Structures are given as C-alpha cells and as structure tokens.
Amino acid sequence: MGAVKSSMASKFAFCPPKPPSYGLAVDESTGRLTMSGMASRENVDILKLCTKRGNEIVAMYMRNPAATLTLLYSHGNAADLGQMYELLSELSVHLPVNLLTYDYSGYGKSTGKPSEHNTYADIEAAYRCLEEIYGVKEEDVILYGQSLGSGPTIDLAVRLSRLRAVVLHSAILSGLRVLYPVKRTYWFDIFKNIDKIPQVKCPVLVIHGTADDVVDFSHGKQLWELCKEQYEPLWIKGGNHCDLELYPQFIRHLKKFISAMDKSAHLINCSGPVAGLSENPQNSTDCIEKSRQSIDQREKSMPSTDQIEKRRPSTDHREKSRTSIDKSEKSRTSTDKREKSRTSTDKREKSRTSTDKRERTRTSTDKKEKSRTSTDKREKLRTSIDKRDKPRNSMDGREKACAGTDQPEKARKSIDRLGGMMRSVGLCNIGCFKHNVSGG
C-alpha cells in the first residue's frame, strides 16, 4: 500500500527540472566541489550528503559573517539549486543570515527518486549537516519552506522542540487539497500540513499571494489560523505563486521577522547553555570572534565621550523637568485622593445628619405619643374619680339632711335639760326662802 501511495504521489506532486540546471565539478587547486556554470564564491560551500534512505543529495551552504541565525531553505517544486542560486545569495546578504539549501532526492544532481518520505529524510540530512559540520544550535535555526518545501519543513518542525522559527512561503494544506478542496484527510494524501501545523511550538510566519493560481490563498490563511504561535502574516495583494520575491514588502517584512527572531535568540543565549546540545570548541571560538567583530563595529558607531558629555546637561535639564512633573503628578494624585476622601466624608456626614433628623422627628413623635398617652390616662382617672365621687356626694347630702334633723332634736334636749336644772334650782330656792321665813 505504501509503494502504491508513493507512486501515485510522485506522478502528480513532483516535477524536477529535466535536465538539471547545473553540473558538479571538483576544483583541482582547492579540492572543493563546485557547481558548473555558477560563479565560485569563497563563502559558498557545495556538499554531498547521505540520507538515511540511502540517497546522496546535493546541498549548498552560504556563510554570512554578520549573521547569528541560519536559514534551512526547502525550495518549491519544478526548481533546483542552479535556478535558486542567485536569489538565495541575495537573501543571505540582505536578511542577513547563514543559509543552507538542498536538492530533494531525484532533483538536480541528487540521487534517488522524489517521494514524500524521501523529502523527510533529505531535510533531516541537511539539518544534521548544520549541527555536525557547522556547529549550528537548534535554537539558532529557522526553517523556510516554499510551496512543496512546506511539507518537509513542517514535518521537521514538529520534531524539534527548541527551534527558533518557521517561514511558510506559498505553503500547501496538503497535496490533495491543491487539486481538490476536500474537507477531510484521506489515506493516500501527502504532506498533510493541515494536521501537523498545530503541533509546531515556535513562531510561524506565513507569506502568501492573494492571486495565487497554483496554491489558493485559502491554504496560507488556514495554515496561519491553525498555528499555535502566530507571527504577523504577509498577504501580498495581487501576488502569484512564483513572483512574491519581486514585491518590496516581501524582503521588508521578512527582514523584520528575522530581526525579531534574532533578538529573541539573544535573550535565550544570555540565559546560559541549553542541555543536550553538542559542543564544538573550534566553532565556539569562531562565535567569539564574530561577537568581537560585531562589538568593534558597535564601538565605532558609538558617539565619542565628549559628545556624550555635551549631551548630558540637556539630559539633566530634562531629568529635572521630569522629576518636577513627577512631583506635581504625585501631588495631584494625593490631592485627588484627599478630595475623594472628603467627598466620601461629606456624603457620610450628610447621611448622618439626615439620620439624626429622622431620629429627632421620631423622638418628638414618641414624646407626643407619650404625652397623649399620659393625658388619656389622666382623663381616664378623672372619669373614674368622678364616677366614684357621685355616690359619695349623694351620701354626703343624706348625711347633711340627717344632721339638719338632729340639730332641733339636740336643741330640744338641751332645753329640756335647762328646764330640769332650772326646776331643781327653783325648788332649792323656794326651800331656802321658806327656811329663811320660818326662821326669821
């Protein structure tokens, strides 16, 4: 089944240039491998690499002394290293980056036949070359895949956890989706980028032309939407499949991306060595020399000490003005806080005042109610007392009437007593009178 799948894919997916646009030769004076028909350059190495599937592929390494990052470039279909040579040389200079590119099995002067799994083995061999021959660390590598090259690029990116970044240029969702807008992935499909891209852990830049007539613009847009770490994409209005490099925004945006990744790479390198990376003393010395050269260039570009001293007074004035502004801002802030506290206090006082007024009205109302209650009680007492006084008055009247009746009775008795007394006195006097008459 695998062989059938590979043969089907090879028929409609791979179109290597026939014949190849370059040949290989050995320079007798230096013993270096060169590309016939191409100008020999000191900073360009031509290599032959063996893959784990038994093929021998041709690779090309371009060295840039000012670069700190390395681009592993996988070109598109119907192209080889001879056709890409000048373009990639310009990219290496202007970005700036070190650049390694290669021909897939069956392309250019590489042996074997083109297939999906051969491209995976091809890019692995190229990455291993960067590590073993040039001492490049994983976190300093940016994978770049154009069109068909997006397949091996994404496949390798899924397996590298410390990769710096990925660039997808006119990338495909899958091989079958280029021909038909299918909604699902079938077993015979190849380069299933749509299923792999969510597993890429590093930043991804997607570049696609809106007028691409080979790989529809929707491929790039959907890939970008599925990325875990999205970088600002570049949608080139009117751009087709093979002309995006001609637009000025292409190199400008790509350079901006490389610069951003370079800064983040410096931050990682400053945190110390990463465990599990191979160390090469000679390569580390080369890195030190590069950093010294960059430092020297920076020193030259720096202004002299006298110029810095001249600028200091104006800087001091600015600092003083900034300090005064900061103080005024602090005072304003504190004043605002006090005003807010005063406002809240006033609100509380107002609420307390209204509460006191309510309490006072309640107290006066309670007093009135109490006075009313006491008045009612007094009225009730008076009523009860009046009720009690009425029978007493009737009794007193009766007593007075009785008293009026007793007085004549008492007078009569006293008169009778006086009469009796007077009788007794009169009898005594008569007796005395008789005695005196008889005696005299």
Amino acid letter, residue 253: H
Amino acid letter, residue 213: D
Report how far residue 21's alpha carbon sits from residue 103's, in angstroms, rounded to the nearest whole number.
Answer: 12
Q: Does the annotation mark 212 as catalytic?
A: yes
Residue 91: which residues within 8 A CB-CB, separation 6 or more? 71, 73, 97, 99
Q: What is the three-class DSSP state of 403?
A: helix
CB 82 within 8 A of CB 108: yes
- Give the residue among 296, 295, 287, 300 at the shortest CA–CA distance from 67: 287
Q: Catalytic: which of 75, 169, 219, 241?
A: 241
- Give the residue among 203, 140, 194 at the shortest CA–CA distance from 172: 194
Report how far residue 215's alpha carbon sits from residue 241's, in angstroms, rounded to the nearest whole number.
Answer: 7
- Which runs of E-coded beta strand occur in 65-106? 70-74, 98-102
Phi/psi for 234 (5° steps) reads -120, 105
Q: Does the annotation mark 394 as catalytic?
A: no
Report how far residue 8's alpha carbon sits from residue 188's, in angstroms, rounded to the nearest whole number.
Answer: 8
Q: Catalytic: which of 147, 150, 170, 174?
A: 147
Cα 253 to chain centroid, rounded: 26
Q: Does the annotation mark 147 as catalytic?
A: yes
Q: Catalytic: which of 212, 216, 219, 253?
A: 212
Please list the active-site residues: 147, 212, 241
